[in-house]
Amino acid sequence: CEDVLLKKREPGFVPVILRPATVCGFSPRLRLDLIVNILTNHAVINNEIRVFGGNQLRPNIHIEDVTDLYVQSLEWPEHRIDGNIFNAGYDNQTVAEIAEMVRRQVGDSVGVVTTPTDDNRSYHISSQKIRDELGFGPKHTIREAVENLCDAFKKGLLPDSLGNEKY
């Protein structure tokens, strides 16, 4: 799709390609199959986190930063964004680091079970270009995303979070 959009550039149609990292944190239509959200879900509901491997890198970004990104993209001058591609993320952390962050936030009683895996895919992004050229940087941490999710669980906003296909 990116190639198609970029080929259609013309006066009046100014495409910018935004590549956000994996989105995390509470929202009314959240996905619970993404790393920070799924680990938090299992920590809260099962009191246990299962980590397969753990050294794989995962870039993440808080949902609030993603919404800010999209709003700001409508405000940036056309000449600065036209035909540009930007990554946007908070940090690249290992799955094991994310699991430990979740465990600390949810509670020390949460167990972390690590299992070897042959799936060692890592994803690593740099968001330096969007910081340098447009001044965009995330304002919310991944830890805040975990806190928001924990609050949502406490308030009953995620009923049947392991079974409901909506998630």
Cβ contacts of 8 within 8 Å, gap of 6 or more: 15
Nearest to 112 by CA among 90, 95, 136: 95
pLDDT confidence band for 166 (50 / 70 / 90): confident
Quote the CA–CA distance of 113 and 15 in Å, as a whole number.
44
Quote the CA–CA distance of 157 and 30 in Å, as a whole number.
11
Q: Which residues of 116-137 are buried (b: 16+ CB within 10 A; e: fewer)?
A: eeeeeeeeebebeebeeebebe
Rounded CA Rg of the chain: 18
**Does residue 137 surpass a pLDDT of 90?**
yes
Write the pLDDT tens digit of every residue in 30-89.
999 999 999 999 999 999 999 999 999 999 999 999 999 999 999 999 999 999 999 999
Write the pLDDT tens digit of every residue in 58-75.
999 999 999 999 999 999
Tokens encoding 2: 């990116």
**Does residue 167 surpass a pLDDT of 90?**
no
Quote the CA–CA distance of 98 and 110 in Å, as a whole number.
13
CB atoms within 10 A of CB 55: 12
